[in-house]
Chains A and B, each alone.
Chain A
């Protein structure tokens, strides 16, 4: 699976949009980009995934650049409950998720 690079940490203001970047410059054509988050002491929660088109669901939007070398997860209106570690993962056909360090997002009031 392609290696992904994320910032170590980010602070976001409550009520504002949170934009979480992820670089995956070596991603191959058949690798999807998945985003998960892990709130303290819980199992990871699936957020969204995509291949090359932008995606939106009730939790977030995923913007993938045209060359697919990077993507941005957007939480439209961050709340205190969005404080978590966010993982960006590029995944091939064996479907084994490889969790890196992720981005620790702290939403502040």
Chain B
């Protein structure tokens, strides 16, 4: 149980395009979903927290107009990297949580490469 699916797993695109990443909780309803970013040889950095039906809360230094988050239902959140540039190339990972002190469960990540 507690499976989180992330799609796509790998994307390469040209500079200036927008990329959408989907995160789905397959066998549970997630009250909260989280988006992280991980650069090579570094640890995960939280970008934003989203609750179904409300606006995402972004961490300091993360541009909300560049990283659009939509949490449309209790099983789906999307991250759109708008007008992506090479410096946005990274490993993006989502997680989902039921509630209380239940743990977050993570997707397998999306490796984004901007040329």
Q: Digit string of B1-40 for contact with A (CB within 8 Å is 1, else 0)? A: 0101010000000000000000000000000101010000
Tally of B interface residues using CB under 8 Å? 24
A96-B34, A99-B44 in contact; A42/B101 too (CB < 8 A)? no
Whether A49 contacts B46 by the Cβ 8 Å rule is no
Q: Digit string of A36-80 for contact with B (CB within 8 Å is 1, else 0)? A: 101001111110010100000000000000000000000000000
Pick the contact of B103: A46, A96, A98, A101 (CB < 8 A): A46
How far is A44 from B45 in the complex, measured between Cα atoms in Å? Answer: 12
Tell me if A's interface is mostly helix, strand, loop or mixed: loop
Whether B104 contacts A99 by the Cβ 8 Å rule is no
Q: How large is the interface on A (under 10, 10 to 19, 20 to 34, 35 or more residues)?
A: 20 to 34
For window 88-109 of chain A, which residues contact chain B by CB distance below 8 Å?
95-102
A49-B103, A97-B104 in contact; A43/B43 too (CB < 8 A)? no
How far is A38 from B95 in the complex, measured between Cα atoms in Å? Answer: 13
Whether B104 contacts A46 by the Cβ 8 Å rule is yes
Pick the contact of B108: A42, A46, A100 (CB < 8 A): A42
B49 proximal to A (CB < 8 A):
yes
Q: Which residues of B contact A (CB under 8 A)?
A: 2, 4, 6, 32, 34, 36, 43-46, 49, 91, 93, 95, 97, 101, 103-109, 111
